[in-house]
Chains A and B, each alone.
Chain A
Amino acid sequence: MLAADKALEEDLFVSFPFAAYIPKTVTLKPRAGNPPPRLQETAAGLLNSIGLANHGIEAFIRDDLPRLEPMPVPVIASIAGERTEDYGRCAAMLDSRAEVAALELNVSCPNVELDGRALGLDPEKTRQATVLARQATSKFLIVKLTPNVTDIVEIAAAAVDGGADCVSLINTVHGMALDRFSLKPVLGHVTGGLSGPAIKPVALRAVFLVSRELDVPVIGMGGVTTAQDALEFMAAGATAVAVGTASFRDPLVAAAMASELGRLIKEHGIGSAGELIGVAH
């Protein structure tokens, strides 16, 4: 992911270092997001509790999609629901939009209360949300999963059973930080989601297990910071790799990673990126 912000827009549109672009998740109604503070850096990690702050899907379609149209790569719209039905309604609204190449169903935001729990913690709710989206659109459907579950393979299988073409994992890991002086929670939302290099082993395991059991492509993410990380995620079974937090560290890191990845694949004597996928199995 990278921000299509004015400040960097021109550079990125010329040399966009990714194969696809996923803007921030949108919801049916606008959301102000969680109370600040929303960020805290931890050891090799970043805690956030943004809370899906966004201006709603109508404004996304009206204001953002036209701006994203000149992107040199496919745009994947990410949607989240406060209830299961929202996924069907949002998918229907995006179905006719040519600018949207695929849909990501974010069922895994840890900072949004849905009966106190992310929908993606429950296999049946995950399946239902996917079914509703599947009925509303013929677009390629990606379901983004949370690692905060006992058995992520069970949730992934439910998404595929509901009609997902692909699963994307992992979203952030539940976490919190205390203020070193007051010993009270730092984040306004008290708890948040951890990203960055600290969660890479958690993500790698999830990608490995899900891709071994299921017959759909997996998009791997969670702490991908170097080309070596990308290499390992693909070896663990990811067909594509996403970069989030590392882009905050270096907005152009993915371009360097992509060229370095090609060199690493050759160095390992592997014929192509396709042959790399799942060699760890």
Chain B
Amino acid sequence: MDAGLIPAELLQCAVVESRQVGAYRLISFVAPQIANLAHPGQFLMIRLAGSELDPLLPRPMGIHNVESDLVTMLIDPVGKGTARLAAAGIGDRVSVLGPLGMGFRLEGDAPAVLVGGGIGISPLKLLARALAAGGREVRCLLGFRTRKEAVATELFSGVRIDVITEDGSIGRLGLVSDPLPGCLAREPGKPAPEIFACGPSPMLAAIARIARECGNLAQVSVESHMACGIGSCQGCVIRGAGGYLRVCSDGPVFDVEDISWQ
């Protein structure tokens, strides 16, 4: 499906769930228009509704999950915009535009290896569900700084998970990319595993290198500051193999070889 051509909705929605998940905040709101259209890897432009001018613009955030009419977002309160959203209580209203962007392509039957770093785990929940529903074998490598962020692995119940932390406070010590090569061998009678990744740029660069060395397909979801979110302002571009790419409308999910990793 051409996710970029799905009509987006601009809505104001009341928060119906707001809870702490370790270092992150999880909020949910009722938005059947978005829940029905959302494709794994797509994002919303989201801000706390109101006339406050600082923060000024909505923030692009990957859709964490949808359940019937409910849309769920996972927030890492690292800056002004995300902190304001994370402070949203039940009944507060959020302004949302979406679903936006080109999500993960789900075609094929290769075993799927999902790799998430930090808040980059967020869109992998909806992705894992969609892949499993399509009969794909799914395993997740979820990497965090410490056990405080790793609490979010509880959101991935029912999926095969390996936890990696940079301080070794829970799971395997190291970087989430460390165990990846060991997950990529082709099993007899099956296609080579396909990588789906979301996380900080250095992590994605490491995954690009590993995918190239091991000869596996990989799709990565990239982050960038955005203003319009719909392909117009050219503000969110990254360097691609053949020129600049708009993260909001050409992505946020790209084939790993379409991006320039220099």
**Contact check: which of B47, B97, B228, B235 meets A38 at CB < 8 Å?**
B235
With most chain A CB atoms within 10 A of its CB, the pick from B53, B54, B228 is: B53
Residues of chain B within 8 A of A50, CB atoms compared: 233-235
Determine the interface band of chain A, counting residues with CB < 8 A from chain B. Answer: 35 or more
Q: Is B174 interfacial (CB-CB < 8 Å)?
A: no
Q: Which of B213-244 contact A (CB under 8 A)?
A: 224-239, 243-244
Contact of B233 with A6 in the complex, beta carbons under 8 Å: no
Q: Is B57 interfacial (CB-CB < 8 Å)?
A: yes
A-B contact count (CB 8 A): 101
Contact of A38 with B234 in the complex, beta carbons under 8 Å: yes
Given A6-B4, A249-B58, the answer on whether A37 and B224 have CB atoms closer than 8 Å is yes
Q: Is B133 interfacial (CB-CB < 8 Å)?
A: no
Contact of B236 with A39 in the complex, beta carbons under 8 Å: yes
Contact of B225 with A39 in the complex, beta carbons under 8 Å: yes
Q: Is A45 interfacial (CB-CB < 8 Å)?
A: yes
Q: Which of B1-49 contact A (CB under 8 A)?
A: 4-8, 10, 47
Task: With CB as the reference atom, state the residue of chain A lying closest to B95.
Answer: A250
**Contact check: which of B6, B228, B249 meets A248 at CB < 8 Å?**
B228
Docked CA distance A249–B57 (Å): 5
Q: Is A8 interfacial (CB-CB < 8 Å)?
A: yes
Residues of chain B within 8 A of A24, CB atoms compared: 232-234
What is the distance, in angstroms, from A43's C-beta to the closest C-beta of chain B? 5
Docked CA distance A76–B168 (Å): 59
What is the distance, in angstroms, from B204's C-beta to the closest C-beta of chain A? 15
Q: Which of A191-244 contact B (CB under 8 A)?
A: 196-197, 225-226
Besides A7-B6, A226-B51, 19 other A-B contacts (C-beta < 8 A): A3-B232, A6-B4, A7-B8, A7-B100, A7-B249, A8-B7, A36-B244, A38-B235, A39-B225, A39-B235, A40-B225, A46-B56, A53-B234, A197-B56, A245-B56, A245-B227, A250-B10, A251-B10, A252-B10
Instruction: List the 10 closest pairs (A to B, CB-CB), nearest first.
Output: A3-B232, A39-B235, A44-B53, A39-B225, A5-B230, A53-B234, A248-B227, A7-B8, A44-B54, A197-B53
State the A residues within 8 Å of B (CB). Answer: 3-8, 10-11, 24, 32-33, 35-41, 43-46, 48, 50, 53, 196-197, 225-226, 245, 248-252
State the B residues within 8 Å of A (CB). Answer: 4-8, 10, 47, 51, 53-58, 81, 95, 97, 100, 224-239, 243-244, 249
